[in-house]
Structure 1
């Protein structure tokens, strides 16, 4: 039987400016809303790959909330842990791309329905039904979400479940009171660590990647996967190192690529795939995610990833 994966965190809509520039100090044409939120993107990609997936979150009883719940449910996600709150607003992110490809965000998360996430009887039942928990650093930065997230980690790992951890941290939240200790506590229970680039140095005094990896493996983490974006990805364990090259695709929107990468890796990791196989599919999932406008629109099925990895597309088929 496939192991069921629980994710805890924000659900929101993303609304994107169709012009490039420095922000929203003047009116801009917009497109959206798109279903979004890093944990929601992750769990949607998991479900599209056939891995049992569930999310604990909270949305407003509004169009934005129903848009998200409907999308996740249609893709096979267990949405029983999503509370729909009357009189509250669903979180939102307004996004504008700069000419260099970087992004400017205006968020409403902390004061949205998600910011008031709490343990409910439905959430208790859902936690009890899951065998693996995936944690993102952003879930530990808001008090309500963090309380539920840490409960899920404690309960699932205490009964022998596994934990994957993606720091997924924006620089502006790193100084949130209590966040660093919460991150360290989660890392201590982590089986699979999924940092992006320099996030490998967040929890070590090492100044070189090899030293940071070695220190974290010696602290008990079984597998480390470093996401390198357009430079591919690498897997590390006590058995050695595996690298995969990037795939060439026409990028439309990179938002959500890292979440789709992580979901695909977790899906294949839980299924017992080799690091090389898991990396190649994860790399393909991240690449596929960038080919569609909207953070969740590029979440792929196994068949779509097989096509992307086929020799005719410039990849190689992986069994």
Structure 2
């Protein structure tokens, strides 16, 4: 979990931004908050600095009904900072400040085993990946080839999602596969869109794991 600094003006590069405003960020925390807002139960395990930003982030999780008992505060490292913007060409630009930051220093001994035990049945249930990540993991193989996708499966994986940005999403299980087209909407800012998507998927699967036994296009469309 980290602090995002976002330009006060839209469609500019980081160098062109006149000023920045802070906001909580980090994909795992975004997903946890999304699940809680959808009525689900979620928890966050991670480390932040024992500083004002770190405690602010912990309080934000609590205010959004996310269990933050798994958070740890490092007195020797700062909370991570990221500057992020959506440029006029539609591309996002990131700049991270880590030296290293506290989120990179979580030790196994600091993990909250109680939270992990309660969530164990959902570990490795779903994997979400982009086309670029498929190419990287398969050393440049075709991310649209179903045979290539199947190489990424492991014994505990129940569902693999391949996100295609505005074009939608492909889904694969051991028994079926398919594709859901993207919905045409007026774009404001794509930051966090993937996190919201994953939160919606997980909130549905967590309420009824048997949904994995039927075509999952309804859940993805939701």
Please tell me whether the aligned partners of residues 14 and 94 of structure 1 are also in contact (alpha carbons under 8 angstroms): yes
Q: Indicate the SS of the match to 1:79.
A: strand
Per-residue displacement from partner, 1:67-114 (whole Å, max 9, x unpaired)? 321221111111001113346421110123332111222212452222
**1:253 aligned residue:** 189
Higher strand share: 2
Residue 202 (structure 2) pairs with residue 212 (structure 1) = no
Task: State how 1:56-135 maps to structure 2 within 5 Å.
Answer: 56-86=45-75, 88-120=77-109, 123-131=112-120
- The Cα of 1:19 is off from its aligned counterpart by 5.2
CA separation in 2, counterparts of 1:226 and 1:113? 30
The residue number in structure 1 matching 2:131 is 197
Contact kept in structure 2, 1:16 and 1:31, CA below 8 Å = yes
Deviations 1:141-192 (A, max 9, x none): xxxxxxxxxxxxxxxxxxxx3433xxxxxxxxxxxxxxxxxxxxxxxxxx42
Following superposition, the deviation at residue 121 of structure 1 comes to: 5.7
Deviations 1:46-79 (A, max 9, x none): 2222222111111223332233212211111110
2:102, 2:158 → 1: CA distance? Answer: 36
Preserved CA contact (<8 Å) 1:201 1:209: no
Equivalent residue for 2:177?
A: 241
CA distance in structure 2 between the aligned counterparts of 1:90 and 1:236, rounded to whole angstroms: 37
Secondary structure, in 3 states, of the residue corresponding to 2:35? helix
- Contact 1:200/1:209 (8 A) holds in 2: no
- Aligned equivalent of 2:205, options 254, 265, 269: 269
Q: What is the deviation of 1:233?
A: 1.2
Deviating more after overlay: 46-55 vs 201-210 = 201-210
Asked whether the 8 Å contact 2:77–2:100 carries over to 1, the reply is no
For residues 15 and 41 of structure 1, the distance between their equivalents in structure 2, rounded to whole angstroms, comes to 15
Say whether residues 1:231 and 2:221 are aligned partners.
no
CA RMSD between the two structures: 2.5
Q: 1:113 to 1:68 in 2, by over 3 A?
A: same
Please tell me whether the aligned partners of residues 33 and 64 of structure 1 are also in contact (alpha carbons under 8 angstroms): no
Distance 1:44 1:109, change over 3 A: farther
Shift of 1:21: 4.3
Name the structure 1 match of 2:219: 278
TM-score (norm 2): 0.82
How many residue pairs match? The answer is 213
Matched residue, 2:123: 163
- Alignment partners' CA distance in 2, 1:104 and 1:74: 29
Give the whole-Å Cα distance in 2 for the aligned partners of 1:263 and 1:279: 11
